Amino acid sequence: MKVTYMNGAGNDFMVVDARGQSWDFPRMARELCALTGADGFMAVDYAEDGAAADFRLHFYNSDGSRGEMCGNGARCICRYAYELGIAGEQMRVQTDAGLVLGWRLSEERYRIRLNTPSVVDFSRKPGCCYVELGNPGIPHAVVEIPGLDWAKKEEYRAFARALRFDPAFPKGANANLFCRVGGEAVRILTFERGVEDFTLACGTGSGSVATALWCAGQAPGGRLTLQNPGGELEVEIRGEGGIVRELYLIGPTEIGKVLELP
């Protein structure tokens, strides 16, 4: 079995081609992620009948829990599928959160259409915007932390972890802390559900922060640069009347070592 290590802006994954296989994905996620300390595990599979997709993405967090989708993971899996000849430069990916469209922009840069927000709720918890991308949605809690400093992340850990498990969010939530850093740039730090730690980047988290700002009228241009500890991601929003119609994520992908395992 070949296992490919990939990362998108520092968000890293162990990836396999599982077409035609019957593997124990939760166990593989725990064991393979432990080899490198990766954030998640992804398996490419045949798309289900009627899905109108080029392939199926199975996504698991490093603790073996299944995830609905992953923004950086989706960009990486698009490159993986392109490199293996599974899909062309434009592709359709079946995920638990719905169909995801992807585009190859260059050898390393990929663009995906994130799942459209199904929930944007500013009233569920004071000082927080709750966002779900897709249906069933990927849950995100978005909170502004003025002067957010990555070097002080340990000072935010207790708050972020409490937010991740807050009873206001029945499914739990990824905790996204952010601050504006001038113009259309935002600094972000995400404590991810299933990883149970801060990660170097979160694609759906970046999309959720951008969604919260746009819906609040604080990103009228519809384009933001999200500065994650692992690198920059771009988010484009198209919509009207405070309703997001299309949400896009753009950023780098990297293919690392390929492991040959029994």
Q: Which two tokens stand for residue 151?
A: 């070097």
Of the chain, the percentage scoring pLDDT greater than 90 comes to 95
Q: Is the model's pLDDT at 262 over the cut of 90?
A: no
For 31, 117, 159, 169, 190, the CA distances from 166, given in Å and listed in that order, are: 29, 20, 10, 6, 15
Cβ neighbour number for residue 49 with a 10 Å cutoff: 6
pLDDT digits (tens, 9 = 90+) for 17-46: 999 999 999 999 999 999 999 999 999 999
DSSP 46-70: PPPTT---SEEEEEEETTS-B-S--
**CA–CA separation, 56 and 129 (whole Å):** 31
pLDDT digits (tens, 9 = 90+) for 41-99: 999 999 999 899 999 999 999 999 999 999 999 999 999 999 999 999 999 999 999 99
pLDDT at 164: 98
The residue whose two tokens read 């002067």 is 147
Residues forming beta bridges with residue 17, ordered by sequence position: 44
How confident is residue 136, by pLDDT bands cut at 50, 70 and 90?
confident
What's the mean per-residue pLDDT of the chain?
Answer: 96
**Is-contact 70 43, C-beta < 8 A?**
no
pLDDT digits (tens, 9 = 90+) for 205-254: 999 999 999 999 999 999 999 999 999 999 999 999 999 999 999 999 99
Terminal CA-CA length for the chain: 6
